[in-house]
Amino acid sequence: MTFIFILALLCSFCYADKFTRHRFPTQLSYNDTVSNSIDQIDLQRMYLFVASITSCHNRYYISDSGSVAVSKLIDLLNPLISANNFLSIETVEHPWKQKSVIVKWNTPQKETVVLGSHIDSSSHFFPSRSFSPGADDNASGMAALFEVLNVLLQVQFKPNRNIEFHFYSAEESGLKGSQQIFQHYSRTHKNIISMVQFDTIGIPNPHLAPHMAVVTDNASPPLVQFLRMIAQRHSTLPLSPTKCRYACSDHASANKFKFPSALITESKLLGRNWFVHSTADTIDHLDFNHIAEAVKIALGYTIELAT
């Protein structure tokens, strides 16, 4: 019994330790850098990215569009990687076909700030959207990360922590791509400051006052607080807290392995009807100004934590 007690005590320490190891700033220190970066957000560049990544269904590749999306993504990222020697790109193999992709911005430091998005989510998190071409569900988050990377390169950002841009494969098995990655990071004691997932950020809910949402379950409260502070300063929209009530996106995988995480999404989740506003998930339904508001939060998050 004592043994169990000691074990429980020890475990509660490791638990607490992993969640509290890094404190999130309670005030913002790099307003000018964030503000200058926000000025560089390019809606056209995001549009072209989504157009390219959602055009997978052509006659050459129809049999294998999930893997083609990965090659397209890599094609779009490669020019940035080869032009900057501090960037590297890795594909992560899974027991299923579609690979995950990680872009690493390497510094001599050990701590890493993570931004996440997913490549394909048809079957699990947003089942009612499974008929869609995925412009919002699976391309808007990737477009946001692509934009953050482009902007940070453009302003010649000099991070003091590593930054990782994750593009998770989720095909066939919900969240499994990100789970494998965070399980590996947990086992290897990788020093992750935090992870913020960007998922389905392109279509504001027309029935509610303009806002962006942050999902607070399977998430770290201090990180959520920090993100709301960033939005308050840099976004024109309030960042409203909301709940999924299930492990609805890849932030839940980071959270499962005790890495502080949160999810930014386009609007508050109003039960199952949340999806109804988007009957055709195609590029012409995306509001790139809405995606840009998520990118502002992403830039604030990255610059404040990685400088």
Ligand X SMILES: *[C@@H]1O[C@H](CO)[C@@H](O)[C@H](O)[C@H]1NC(C)=O
Q: How far is the CB of 142 from ligand X (least distance, A)?
A: 8
107 three-state secondary structure: coil
Nearer to ligand X, 54 or 253 (CB): 54
Q: How far is the CB of 91 from ligand X (least distance, A)?
A: 15
Helices (H) and strands (E) in the chain, counts: 9, 8
Q: How far is the CB of 1 from ligand X (least distance, A)?
A: 51
Nearer to ligand X, 38 or 227 (CB): 38
- Contact set with ligand X (CB under 6 A): 31, 34-35, 38, 53-54, 56, 65, 69, 119-120, 122, 130, 132-134, 138-139, 233-234
The answer to whether 110 and 187 have CB atoms below 8 angstroms apart is no
Q: Which of 25, 5, 19 is nearest to 218 (CA)?
A: 19
Q: How far is CA 186 from the centre of its chain?
A: 18
Token pair belonging to 250 = 């890849």
The answer to whether 119 and 170 have CB atoms below 8 angstroms apart is yes
Token pair belonging to 222 = 């201090």
Q: How far is the CB of 32 from ligand X (least distance, A)?
A: 6
Q: How far is the CB of 172 from ligand X (least distance, A)?
A: 11
Nearer to ligand X, 139 or 291 (CB): 139
231 three-state secondary structure: helix
The answer to whether 270 and 212 have CB atoms below 8 angstroms apart is no
Nearer to ligand X, 65 or 216 (CB): 65
Query: What is each CA distance from 256 to 55, 203, 218, 261, in whole angstroms?
Result: 34, 28, 8, 10
Q: Across-strand partners of 112?
A: 162, 192
The answer to whether 149 and 117 have CB atoms below 8 angstroms apart is no
Give me the half-sphere count of Cα atoms (radius 13 Å) on the Cβ side of residue 149. Answer: 35
Q: How far is the CB of 307 from ligand X (least distance, A)?
A: 15
Distance in angstroms (rounded) separating the CA atoms of residues 259 and 191 = 9
Nearer to ligand X, 35 or 191 (CB): 35
Q: How far is the CB of 67 from ligand X (least distance, A)?
A: 9
Token pair belonging to 246 = 């299930």
Nearer to ligand X, 100 or 122 (CB): 122
Nearer to ligand X, 67 or 255 (CB): 67
Token pair belonging to 127 = 């089942």
| Residue 13 DSSP one-character state | H
- By DSSP bridging, strand 100-105 and strand 162-168 are antiparallel
Nearer to ligand X, 69 or 219 (CB): 69
Q: How far is the CB of 137 from ligand X (least distance, A)?
A: 6
